[in-house]
Amino acid sequence: NRLLIYLNDILFKNLNNNNNNDDDFNRSKKLIKSAISDNDFMKNLEQFQIDEITDCMYPVEYAKGLFIIKEGDIGSAVYIIEEGTLEVTKGGRFLSKMGPQKMFGELAILYNCTRTATVKGLLFFLGCNFLSL
Ligand code: CMP
């Protein structure tokens, strides 16, 4: 009944790279790269930018049912779902559900706007904090 989020923070880069569990480490990297290349707005980044984002991600646990992103807030992080389903709403209206390997929260970062929708988390996912890059 917990959420696992992977946040991206340059301070944690060494921690991440010193991960002793190579299988988990490589699986996470693959997931992040796949999510980025599947995102219409992120897939055109330079390879070095994708590598930098990937290298800096680290896991954080969230309580189940938490609002990950609230519409109208200022955003400083993007996220990648590792496992589970998230719900996207706007003005209280259902927009869509998102599953594993999906990146979200990129719009406020890329376009320097407030969060365009609310995202509620259910299970496990990954995240990335762009402010720290
Ligand atoms: P951002 O605006 O930063 O924060 C809310 C996120 O929800 C947004 O980035 C997108 O990643 C995601 N999002 C916004 N609109 C939709 C939609 N119609 N369907 C799925 N995801 C969306």
- For ligand 1, the distance from its centroid to the CA atom of residue 107, given in whole angstroms, is 7
Residue 39 vs residue 5, higher pLDDT = 39
Q: How confident is the model over 49-96, as pLDDT tens digits?
A: 888 777 777 666 666 677 889 999 998 888 888 777 788 999 999 999
pLDDT of residue 55: 77
86 lines ligand 1 (CB under 6 A): no
Q: What is the pLDDT of residue 15?
A: 42
Least confident of 13-17, 24-28, 104-108: 13-17
Residue 52, helix vs strand vs coil: helix
> Is the pLDDT assigned to residue 113 strictly greater than 90?
yes
pLDDT of residue 82: 79
Q: pLDDT value at position 28?
A: 80
- Residue with more model confidence, 15 or 68: 68
Count other C-beta atoms under 10 Å from residue 42's C-beta: 19
Instruction: Say yes or no: CB of residue 119 within 6 Å of ligand 1.
Output: yes
- Rounded to the nearest 10 degrees, how much is the dihedral formed by the CA atoms of 78, 133, 32, 118? 0
